[in-house]
Every structure is written in structure tokens, then in C-alpha cells.
Structure 1
Amino acid sequence: MKFLRLIYQNLWRNKLRSLLTSAGTMVLVFVVTLVWSILGFLANATTEKPANIKAIVSERWRIPSMMPYAYAASLKEGAATEPEHVKPTDNMTWTFYGGSLDPKKRTFENIVFAFCLEPKKLLTMMDGLDELPPDSSERKSLEVAVAKLEKNRQGILLGQQRAETLKKKVGDRFIIHSFNYKEIDLEVEVLGILPTRRYDQSAAMNIDYLLGAIDSYKQKHNGKAHDMAAKTMNLVWLRVPDTKSFTQVAAQIEASPQYAMPAVKVQTASAGISTFLEAYADLLWGMRWLLAPAILVTLAIVIANAISISVRERQTEFAVLKVLGFRPGQIMVLVLGEALLIGIVSGIVSAGGSWFVVNQLAGGIPFPIAFFPKFMIPADAWWWGLAVGGGTAFLGSFIPSWTACRVKVSEVFARVG
């Protein structure tokens, strides 16, 4: 205990240097925590699952995928036509609808991007929403909003931040002037707010409303179909129990003659996400192999410099400690302890503070990639802070502490004399 008090007192003798070293450590640990949170989430999202697998059906040769909605009914069943065929346990279709509140001026503040789908699928198939605890207030509020959306097909559910940006609240009505479905402008009523931060900038609409509007377009234009009439389904999501079932369902769909024009492909959700992430491959590679290591090296250098300066200033002190009976190993532990105390405490405070501020106050890291507009910091960040702070402190202070324990009493006092 006395040894710990001595370490603390030594650090506090030069408050400015200790505080600056601590601040530098906290900033670098914060950046590492953000980088690892993003990389960890994406790694988990692209890792193949052995059970409860989600599969994505999309157009084979075109990006973005645009399939006729006539495919929906059979794709939901996994193209099962024989008794021995495997059917998915659940399904969901996605149609992307985008527009702005101002027909002439499109800005970030007035655009809306919506997933058009069957409302009930928000509860069972939408990532993040399907995992809400059954007894949670978020789940219950979502169930109420979904029930309203099923009854009122002109409704819309907005993400929290999108609602704030648009300055809209539940009960407000407005017209969305579409930019991907020309002349299909939809008047909607806000029925609720999507509960998770993942969909803060998104919205959800009833697919029947969009399909009905496209049918009405044909009636109003002397039987001429809308240009997008045969391209109203972007993705189909299927849930299967295991890898064997996925392989069977994928084979059924890709072998079916129903999906010839256009042809479709089936892949697991993790593989599909990996495909979307290919556009960010260089950025993610740089974050993983350049940015994160560079920060760790910088952190070790910062601590090494601070401890080295301290050791040079305290040559006489270490000599006196040896005269008083301190062994070289004890002096080495003393110097290492000072670095470890700064590194570990600063690392834990920084990582824990990052977790609280980002998750509880900011609602996630705004770093849009593919379908992921925000990233949360996992609870693992607490031990990341301990490991990064402590590890870099140890590596950065090992040589200075070794130098300190090898101080020769005769040489030090000869210089003093």
C-alpha cells in the first residue's frame, strides 16, 4: 500500500506533465475505441452464422437491384414447388422510396429515405428491431406504431433524428416528392418513431401505398404503366434455420425458371453486406492496418517520452533510493507503476466515457456505411481501454524503467559533487 502511495505521490509532483500525458492517452484511446467499435461491428455483421440465418435475394446482374414485385409471392416461399422443398421460416421485401418535402430544392434537411414493406415485418425481420426485448417499452411502442401502419397505409414511421431534422412529430402530414419514382408523390402521416438509433435517418412505409399509387398512375395515363412499374422490389429477405436449409432454398430459387428476366441471386446477409462493403475496402483496410496501429505506436511513444524525461530528472533520487536500500527491481517496478497508473486509469476513463457519451448521449457514431448509418460502442470497450492504456504504458516505459534501475550511485554522486 505504501508503494502505491509513493507511485501516486511521484506522479503528482509534476502535475502538468502527468495531466498532459493522461490527456494524450485519453484522446488516443478514444480514437482507437471508435475505430475498433466500427471494425468489430462490421466483422460481426459479415461473419457467417451457423443458425437462424438471414438470406438476401437480389437481382443478379444489376446494382441497385430492381426486381418486379410479381416475384415476391414465390420468393417468400423460397420457390418451393415440391413437397420435399424447404420453405423459409419468415420473409420480408424491401422497396426503397426516396424523396424530398420541397419538389424544387432537395437538401439534407428535407429528404426522406423509406423502406417500403409489410408493416408487421418490422417486428420479426428488421435487423435491430426484431431483437428488442418483448417486455421493453421500445418494443411495445413499436408494436403500437406497426398496428397503426397496417390500418393506415398512408402512414409513415420516422427515425428519431430524421423526424427532428424534418421538424415533424406524430400526427403531422406532409407530401414526399419522389426522386426515384418520378410523379409518384405520396402524402403521408407520421404515425410513430422508430425506436432504435440504427434507423435514426430512415423511415418505414406500407408497401401497399406505393404499389397502389403506381397502379393509379397507369389509370391516369391512359393505361401507360409507370417506368418503374416492373422494378418495384429491391431486395427480399428470407430467414432459414441453418446452413443446410439455406443451401437448399438458394438452390431452389436459382434453379427456378420463374426468375429469368431479370435473373436473381441468393446470398447470406453477411455475404450481402460484405458485397456492399467492397466499396469501402480500402478505407476499412487503412483503419485496421494503418490508423489503429499508428495510434498505438504514438500512444506508446507519448508515454515513453514522459517517463524518459521523468527518469532523467530523477537520477539523483534513484541513487538515494538505492542508498536507502531499494533494490533495482523495486525501482523498476516504481517507474513502471507510474506509467501503468496513468495508462490504465486514463484508458478506462476514456473508453468508459466514450461508451457513455456515444451510446447514451449521442446515440451512436455517425459513420454511414452501407445500411449502417451509426455504430454503437460495445461494452467490451471498458477492457479495451484497460488493455490499450496498460499495454502501451508498459511497452513505452519498459526501457526508461530499465534505465532507472541501472543507475550507478557512484556516478550520480560524482556528477553532483
Structure 2
Amino acid sequence: MKFLILVVENIRRNLVRTTLTSLGTMMLVLVVTLVFTVLTTLDAVTTEKSANIKAIVTEKWQIPSLMPYSYAAGLIEGGAAPDDPNAVRPQDWMTWGFFVGSTESNPAKRGYENLFFSFIMEPEKARTMLDNIDALNDQQAEVLNEAIKKIQEKRNGVIIGEGRLAKLKKKIGDRITAYGRNYRDINLELEIVGTFPKETSQYTDSAIIRRDFFETELDTYKASHNNKPHALADKSLSLVWLRVPDRMSFNKLTEQILTAPSFSNPPVKCETSSTGIASFLDAYRDIIWGVRWLLAPACMLVLSLVISNAISISVRERRIEFAVLKVLGFLPWQILCLVLGEALLIGTLSGLASAGLAYGVINGVWGGLPFPIAFFPKFAVPINCLWWGAAMGAATAFVGSFFPAWSARGVRVSDVFSKVA
């Protein structure tokens, strides 16, 4: 305890240097924490699972995937023949289409602030098939359940994430018109009936509209254009999600779908959700590699140099003090531990404080880290960041302070006092 008190007192002796070192540590730990937040989320969604597997069925040769909606009936049965008792059928399913539009009617004024991106799906499937929904507690899940109940009552209802509501300057109960961009000339009159829980930052900029409502709008377009269907009327199905219990079931399901003649024009592919997302992220592969292996190590190196510089200055100024400590009976290893302890205390507490602030502010105030990659508009900072921050601060403090501490250990009493004399 006395040793710890001595370490704390030494830190307090030069508050300006300690504060600047601490702030530098906090800033660099913050950067690395944000980097790890993105990387750990991407690693989690691209890691293969052995149970409770979600499969994605998409068009085989085209991106974006555009399949006829007629495929849905067969795919949600896993491509199984009706009279085949040995066939594997999904435990759950969800269809996805995408409607991209704008709430601004004038194309010249359209921008990100009035963008409207929506999943065309069965709203009730949001409870069981959307990622991260199963992690919500009862109170958070009730927000989504209430929104689903209302959209089931209103065919033109829409559920919109809180982030997008704020950008559109709208609230629940307002009406909007979404002017189609991928579905040109399809303009949807919608009523906002609910929002996603703020804890689901992945969907903060997204929306849900009912599949049956959208199919009706396509029929309305056909009736108003001399019975001529919309160009994408038979290409409104982008993805089908299927849940199976294990890898063996997934392999059997894939075989059923790929060999079914009803899914041959256009042909489809079936892959696990992790594989599908990894393929989708291929366009970001170089960026992710650079962030993981260049940016993060560079921040750690800079942080070590910052601490090393601060401790080196402190050691040079305190050579007489270390000589006196030796005269008083302090052993070299005790002086080494004293200097290392000062650096480790600053680094650990600064790293922990930085990570704690990141966790509280980014998740609690911002609703997630706004760093759009693919279909991830925001990333929630995990609770693990608290030990990341402390560990990064401690590790870089140790590396940066070791050589200055070793220099302090080797101070020669005779040399120091001969110069003073």
C-alpha cells in the first residue's frame, strides 16, 4: 500500500505532464476501441456456426439478386417435395425484397437526409429472423412487438428506425410518400406506425413495409399502365432466409434447393448467412485488412511512443531522486517497479476511462457507432471494450515505459552526486 501511495504521489507531482499523457492515451485507445468495435462485429457475423444456422437463398449469377416472388412458396419449404417425408424443411423463414426511394419528390433535391431504405418482408418474421432481436430484453422487445402489431393492422404501415426518423424529421403517426428509385414510378403512401428498439442499432436507418402491400402496389401499377407490368414486377424477391438446426440439415436443404427444377430460371444458390455476408463484404476486404493490420498497430505504436517520451523526460528530471532512493536502501528492481507502476497506473486508468466513455456515449447517446459498411449503418460498442481499453492502456504503457524504467534502475549514485558537487 505504501508503494502504491508513493506511485500516486509521484504522478501528482507534475499534473500537466500526467494530464497530457493521459489524454493522449485516451484518444489513441478510443481510436483502437472503435476499430475493434467494427472488426469484432464483422467477425461475429462472418463466423460459421454449427447449430441454429441461417441459410440465405439468392440468385446465383447476379448482384443484386432479383428472383421472381413465385420462388418464395417453394423456398420456404426448403425445396422439398410435398410427399417426401424424409425431406428437410426449415424451422423458420423470412423473405426479403428491397425498396430504395426518397421522401423528396424533386430528383434534384434528393440526398442522404431524405433517403428511404426498406425491407419488403413479412413483419411478424422480424421477431424471430432478424439478427440481434433475440438479444433484446422483454421491455425492449415490447417496442418491436407493438410496432409489428400496428403494421399488421395497417396495410400501408411502415416501421422506421430511430436514426432515419430523426433525419426525415418525422415521428410515429406521420404520413410520408416514398418515391421509388430502384422501383421507378412506384410511389408508396405510407403511415409510420412504429420504430425499432434503439438497442438494435443495425436497423436504425432501415424500415419495414409489408410484402402483401407492396405486391398490391405492383398490381396497381399494372392496372394503371394498360395491363403492362412493372419492369421489376417478376423480380421483387431478393433473399430468402431459412433457419435449420444443424450443419447436416443445412447440407440436405441446400441439395434439395439446388436440384429442384422450379428454381432453375434464374438459378439460385444457397449458403450460410455468415458465408453470404462475407461474400458481400469482399468489396470492403482491403479496407478491413488495412484497418486491422495497419491502423490498429500504428495507433498502438504511437501510444507506446507517447508514453515512452513522457516517462523518459520524467526519468531524466528525477535522476537525483533515484540516487537518493538508492542511498536510502531502495534496490534497483524496486526503482524499476516504481517507474513501471507510474506508467501502468496512468495507462490502465486512462484506457479504462476512454473505453467507458466510448461505451456510454456511443451506445447511450448516439445509439451506436455511425460507420456505414455494407448494410451495417451503425455498430454497437460491446461491453468487452472495458477490458480492451484497460488492457491496451496497460500493455502500451508497459512497452513504452520499460526502457526508461530500466534506465532509472541503472542510475549510479556516485555519478549523480559527483555532478551535483
TM-score band, normalised by the shorter chain? over 0.9
Match of 2:75 in 1: 75
1:371 aligns with 2:375: yes
**Residue number in structure 1 paired with 2:47:** 47
When structure 1 is superposed on structure 2, of 351-360 and 139-148 the one drifting more is 139-148
Asked if the contact 1:122/1:130 (under 8 Å) is kept, the reply is no
Equivalence for 2:191: 189
Letter in 1 for 2:399: L
Q: Are positions 1:247 and 2:277 aligned together? A: no
**How many angstroms does 1:137 deviate by?**
2.0
Report SS of the residue matched to 2:370.
Answer: strand
AA paired with 1:43? Answer: D
Are the counterparts in 2 of residues 368 and 374 from structure 1 also a CA contact under 8 Å? yes
Tell me, yes or no, if the aligned pair for 1:366 and 1:374 is still in contact at 8 Å: yes
Choose the corresponding residue for 1:388, options 383, 388, 392: 392
* Counterpart for residue 34 of structure 1: 34
Matched ranges for 1:296-311 at <5 A: 296-311=300-315
Q: Which residue of 2 aligns with 1:177?
A: 179
1:65 match: 65
Structure 2, unmatched stretches of 5+, are: none
Q: Aligned partner of 1:215: which letter? A: D
SS of the residue corresponding to residue 372 of structure 1 reads coil
Q: How many residue pairs align between the two structures?
A: 415
* Cα RMSD after superposing both structures: 1.0
| 1:106 match | 110
Say whether the 8 Å CA contact 1:273–1:370 is kept in structure 2. Answer: no
Contact 1:35–1:287 (8 Å) recurs in 2: yes
Q: Find the counterpart in structure 1 of residue 282 from structure 2.
A: 278
SS in 1 for 2:123: coil
1:99-126 CA distance string (max 9 Å, x none): 1122213121222111011111111111
Q: How far off is 1:222 after superposition?
A: 2.0
Matching residue's letter, 2:75: L
Structure 2 counterpart SS, 1:366: coil
Q: Which residue of structure 2 aligns with residue 407 of structure 1?
A: 411
Shift of 1:410: 0.7
Match of 2:263 in 1: 259
Give the SS at the match of 2:113: coil
Give yes or no for the alignment of 1:212 onto 2:216: yes
| Matched letter for residue 150 of structure 1 | Q
Partner Cα separation in structure 2 for residue 66 and residue 387 of structure 1: 47
- Partner in structure 2 of residue 362 of structure 1: 366
Would the alpha carbon gap of residues 379 and 130 (structure 1) be closer, same or farther in structure 2, given more than 3 Å must change?
A: closer
Deviation of 1:215 (Å): 1.1
SS in 1 for 2:194: strand
| Structure 1 residue runs of 4 or more that deviate by more than 4 Å after TM superposition | none
CA distance in 1, matches of 2:144, 2:3: 56
Are residues 1:155 and 2:146 paired? no
The Cα of 1:395 is off from its aligned counterpart by 1.0
Q: Which whole-Å deviations, capped at 9, do the CAs of 1:305-345 have from their partners, x for residues lacking one?
A: 11111111111111111111111111111111111111111
Letter in 2 for 1:299: L
Deviation at 1:132, TM superposition (A): 2.4
Q: For 1:141 and 1:308, how far apart are their aligned partners in 2?
A: 55
Sequence identity, in percent? Answer: 53
In 2, the alpha carbon distance for the partners of 1:310 and 1:131 equals 48
| TM-score (norm: length of structure 1) | 0.98
Q: Secondary structure at the match of 2:339?
A: helix
TM-aligned CA deviation for residue 130 of structure 1: 3.9
Is 49-58 or 173-182 further displaced after alignment?
A: 173-182
| Matched position secondary structure for 1:373 | coil
How far apart are 1:165 and its partner, in Å?
1.3
Larger CA deviation: 85-94 vs 98-107: 98-107
| 1:141 CA displacement | 2.4
